[in-house]
Every structure is written in C-alpha cells, then in structure tokens.
C-alpha cells in the first residue's frame, strides 16, 4: 500500500473514533440504542469516506498528469541541454585545435626569427625563394641554380638567353641593420643606421659586380640582385634629403636590385622574349623545310616535263604505228578480195 492509502485509512479511523466519542456525551439511553442507528451512522460515514476517496483519486490523477507533464518537460530540457553541451564540447575541441595550430604557427615564427638571425641561414632562405620563383615561371632549360664560373665563383642562379648569353642573379638579405632601424624613433640615430645599412648593401653590390659580371664567360654586362623582402627593397630605392640612394649606386655598378614583385614582372617579360625566340627558331625551321620542298618540287617538275616529252614521243610513235597497221590491214583486205573475185581455171581435158 502507498503512503496515501495509509493516510486515508488513518483519516477514516479518526472519523470513526470521533463519532464514537461524540456519542458518549449523550444520555445513557443512547448507549443502548438500536443497531439500526449504528448502521445508519456507519453508512453515512462510509459515504463521506467514498466522497473523500473520489476527491483524493481525482487529485491523484491530476498530480499524476502534472508529474508526467513535468517529466516530459524536464526530459526535453535535459535533451536540449545535452545537445547544447555536445555543441559546446565540439566547439571547445575545435577551439583547442585552433589554439594548438596558432601555437604551432607561433613556434614556426619563432623558429623563422631564429633562422633570420643567422646570416648564412638567411642567405639560404633567399636562395630558396629565388629558386622557387624561377622554377614557377621559366622553363628548366632557361636557368641554372648554383652556377659555377671558371674563376671558381658560384652565383645563386643564371638565366640562359639566346646564343649562350647569361644573366647572373644573386640573392642578398641585408636584414640585421634594417630591422634595428625599424625600432628607432630618434631621427639622428635612424639616419646613422640608414648609412650603416647603405654600407652593408654597397658591399653586396660590389661583390656581385666584381664576382659575377664576367662577359668573357658569356654573361651580359649587368647582374641582378634579388632582395626577398619587399620592405627592404623599398627602403633601398627611396631617396631621402636629396641623398644618393642605394639603387642609384647599384645601377652605377651595373647591378639591378629586384624584389619578388619586380623580379616576377621581369621574368614574365623575359618569358615572352624566350617564347619569341622559340617562335623564331620554329619559323626558321619552317622556312628551311619550305626551301627543301621547293627544291623537291622543282626536281619533280623537271621529271614530269621529261615524262611528258617521252609520252609525246610515244604518242607520235603510236600514231605512226597505227597508221602503218591500218595500211597493212587495207592491203590484206585487198588481197582477200582479189582471191574471191578471180575466175576458176579450165579443167584439163
């Protein structure tokens, strides 16, 4: 039995006891009342109990429906909360993965900064960028990496033009003093460091001009200095206070500074020229082929004319032979006719 059933039984018991004790206050004659009176009291009490029981059942049903509704609502909310928690968990996992990637990128940036601190590794990085750009644009037969001259000097790359001509290209990455100058606010200090940066680049220009412009080995009378960073290149070509900038000095030594963007444009123009040379070579081949075809055609014309002459002679011979054949045929026909028309000889008697 449930707790509510026990409560109902307790209420009924209390009511019965209350009715019994309420009758004790009556007169003694009521104690000896008839059994019918007691039966009526019990029936009235049972009716009240039934009414109370029905009300309790109705309340129990209402409570049960309310409880079910509450359970469903709570279940729906728990399901929704579970979905939200799963979504949040997924997003947190994605965020953690993104943070890990950012952390890895940060480590790579730190590693790159460490690489750029070392001049040798910085130079290797510039050579790598240079080789990658050449590979993307020019055909492989039109450039070479780490070209060695007869003098023993090794240039980062040479671009091969027609007739064996070479354009030397060397990568330079003068980053150290340039980077120091970025954080200076004092104008005098900045200009002093600018001069130091100018001297660094000037040494690179002189080295390229002296070591790699070798016309006796097939190079043109100029060379390219590839600067892998656009901001460094820009700082090299700008002019301040009417002073001679670095690019003017470089051009005076026949060294042309190029950045990734300007070098890309230069290579595109060069590629068009190389394609023009290829078309020119192919056109020469076509002209040579046409010349051979012309000679063959003339030879064929001569042979064809000779064949026509032979055919004309054969035709004349054939006509003469045909005429003689007709004459001979006519004579044969005459002979046949004369034999038919000749008289018979008289018989011997």
Strand 223-226 and strand 166-171: pairing?
parallel
Compute mean pLDDT per 10 residues along the chain, 349 residues long, and list them.
58 60 49 60 72 77 80 79 81 72 53 50 72 87 90 90 86 68 64 77 90 90 87 74 72 89 85 67 66 74 79 81 79 69 50
The Cα–Cα gap between 345 and 190 comes to 151
pLDDT score recorded for residue 138: 85
Q: What are the boundaries of each domain within the chain?
A: 123-277
Cross-sheet strand order for the sheet of 154-160 = 143-148, 154-160, 166-171, 223-226, 255-258
The Cα–Cα gap between 120 and 123 comes to 5
Strand 154-160 and strand 223-226: pairing?
unpaired
pLDDT score recorded for residue 211: 92
Number of C-beta neighbours around residue 192 at 10 A:
13
pLDDT score recorded for residue 32: 47
The Cα–Cα gap between 161 and 201 comes to 28
Token representation of residue 266: 């230069």
């Amino acid at each position: 039995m449930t707790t509510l059933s026990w409560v109902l039984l307790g209420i009924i018991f209390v009511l019965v006891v209350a009715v019994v004790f309420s009758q004790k206050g009556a007169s003694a004659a009521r104690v000896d009342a008839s059994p019918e009176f007691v039966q009526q009291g019990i029936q009235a009490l049972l009716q009240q109990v039934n009414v109370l029981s029905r009300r309790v059942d109705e309340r129990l049903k209402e409570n049960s429906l309310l409880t079910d509704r509450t359970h469903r609502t709570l279940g729906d909310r728990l399901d929704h909360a579970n979905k939200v928690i799963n979504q949040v968990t997924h997003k947190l996992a994605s965020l953690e993965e993104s943070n890990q990637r950012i952390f890895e990128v940060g480590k790579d940036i730190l590693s790159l900064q460490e690489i750029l601190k070392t001049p040798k590794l910085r130079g290797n990085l510039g050579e790598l960028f240079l080789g990658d750009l050449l590979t993307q644009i020019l055909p492989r037969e039109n450039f070479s990496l780490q070209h060695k001259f007869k003098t023993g000097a090794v240039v980062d790359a040479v671009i091969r033009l027609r007739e064996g001509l070479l354009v030397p290209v060397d990568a330079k990455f003068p980053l150290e003093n340039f980077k120091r100058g970025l954080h200076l606010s004092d104008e005098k200090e900045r200009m002093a460091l600018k001069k130091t940066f100018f001297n660094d680049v000037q040494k690179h220009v002189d080295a390229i001009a002296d070591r790699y412009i070798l016309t006796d080995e097939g190079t043109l009378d100029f060379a390219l200095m590839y600067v892998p960073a656009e901001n460094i290149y820009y700082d090299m070509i700008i002019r301040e206070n009417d002073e001679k900038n670095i690019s003017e000095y470089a051009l005076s030594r026949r060294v042309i500074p190029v950045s990734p963007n300007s070098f890309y444009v230069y290579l595109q123009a060069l590629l068009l020229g190389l394609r023009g040379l290829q078309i020119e070579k192919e056109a020469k081949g076509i002209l040579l082929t046409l010349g051979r075809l012309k000679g063959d055609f003339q030879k064929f014309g001569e042979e064809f004319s000779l064949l026509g002459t032979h055919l004309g002679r054969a035709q004349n011979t054939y006509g003469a032979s045909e005429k003689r054949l007709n004459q001979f045929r006519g004579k044969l026909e005459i002979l046949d006719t004369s034999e038919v028309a000749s008289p018979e000889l008289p018989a011997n008697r």
